Amino acid sequence: MPSSGKIVTPNMKMYTLAELRAATKNFRPDTVLGEGGFGRVFKGWVDEKTYAPSKVGMGMAVAVKKSNPDSLQGLDEWQAEVKFLGKFSHPNLVKLLGYCWEDRQFLLVYEYMQKGSLENHLFGKAAEPLSWNIRLKIAIGAAKGLTFLHSSEKSVIYRDFKASNILLDADYNAKLSDFGLAKLGPINGNSHVTTRVMGTYGYAAPEYVATGHLYVRSDVYGFGVVLLEILTGLRALDTNRPSGNHNLVEYAKPSLSDRRKLKKIMDPRLEEQYPAKAASQCAELILKCLESDPKSRPSMDQVLENLEEISAIEVDPKKVRAKAKRNSSKQRQESSSSSSSHQHHHHGHYRSPMYSKHGDNGTRARCSQRPSMVR
């Protein structure tokens, strides 16, 4: 394997390692934004027009992904990222600005996403709860990104759709990131491509895990899992939950077709501020996405259309008034008792056995260490 290289891509800047060191304060630990299988992601700064490195706080913030020297798939994933993100441009795909391949190091430079990942917002302990409308906005944005990939000239299978790969800008617009496992879809009338099983447990479609057969609608299964996480505020896979409840799909599926059961597994941080009809329709959509036969799942086009219809359903004004009344009562109680200020923000809301005391499954640092599949 050559230690350096160049890829001819018209809209991307080729950086030197020295330039990216300058942009990230020599990859200092305090610039780390996150960590994944590929390596660490650092915050850096570049000039808005030339994309040349600039001083901290000057110009435009970027995210610099640096390969882990021990990553066996480093080069393959790096090339896949450049191949797909370098070619595509869409409001719901993260923008790749440049790359570097030097001294056996692979680096990628992306636009910086101010709000971080959907994963951190759903499961991070310090995160502000997302409202129903924001959750739907994120789901719709992610659906638009997947729809675009599936309907491109040669359909692209994303293969690793999960909450940590959905990044959010300042206005909670969702953009898909991390195209390291993306694959061109089947050609010549074939229904699937056969490939080594890779991805993340809990999100990968059953037919892919079992046979290595990857369908365009294998992505739809992953979308259904993320939509279920958005509804429940629970991780797809969490070994800290009670025995038998580790896998969210297996646990929650029986509740999705029953309105009363559905209410019990809805994220308590929503504080019931969502239209019951919309939640019920979301649950129906999730069940369709999770069909065991990929041919029975809807296309992402259909999923997007369905979500946009659901987003038009408004919250019952009675519920809004009831919440305001509860908040007012709560404030009165807090002012009369200092001890109540130490109570957890979930207090007073129904929590099913699924919400264990360790339900957040650790801090952000552990988020990226979800069990991945390599076979």
What is the distance between the alpha carbons of residues 125 and 360, in angstroms, rounded to a whole number? 7
* Cα Rg of the chain, angstroms: 22
Longest dimension (CA), the chain: 72
Q: In whole angstroms, give the CA distance from residue 372 to residue 37.
A: 9
- HSE-CB at 83 with a 13 A cutoff on CA atoms is 15
- Cα–Cα distance for residue pair 351/357, rounded to 1 Å: 10
Q: Kind and range of the H or E element at 35?
A: strand 32-35
Pairing of strands 60-67, 105-111: antiparallel
Residues 6+ apart with CB under 8 A from 125: 360, 363
Instruction: Give Cα 93 distance to the centre of its chain.
Output: 12
Output the six-digit token pair for 298. Answer: 């809807």
* Contact in structure between 59 and 111 (CB atoms under 8 Å): no
Task: Give the single-character DSSP code of 254.
Answer: G
Query: What's the gap between Cα 362 and its chain centre?
Result: 17
Instruction: Report the alpha-carbon distance of residue 155 to residue 157 in Å, rounded.
Output: 7
Determine which one of 30, 70, 103, 160 is catalytic.
Answer: 160
Annotation says 30 is catalytic: no
DSSP assignments along 65-128, one per residue: EEE-TT-TTHHHHHHHHHHHHTT---TTBPPEEEEEEETTEEEEEEE--TTEEHHHHHH-TTPP
Q: At what angle do helices 276-289 and 218-232 cross, to 10 degrees?
A: 150
Amino acid at 239: T
* DSSP reduced 3-state for 372: strand
What are the catalytic residues? 160
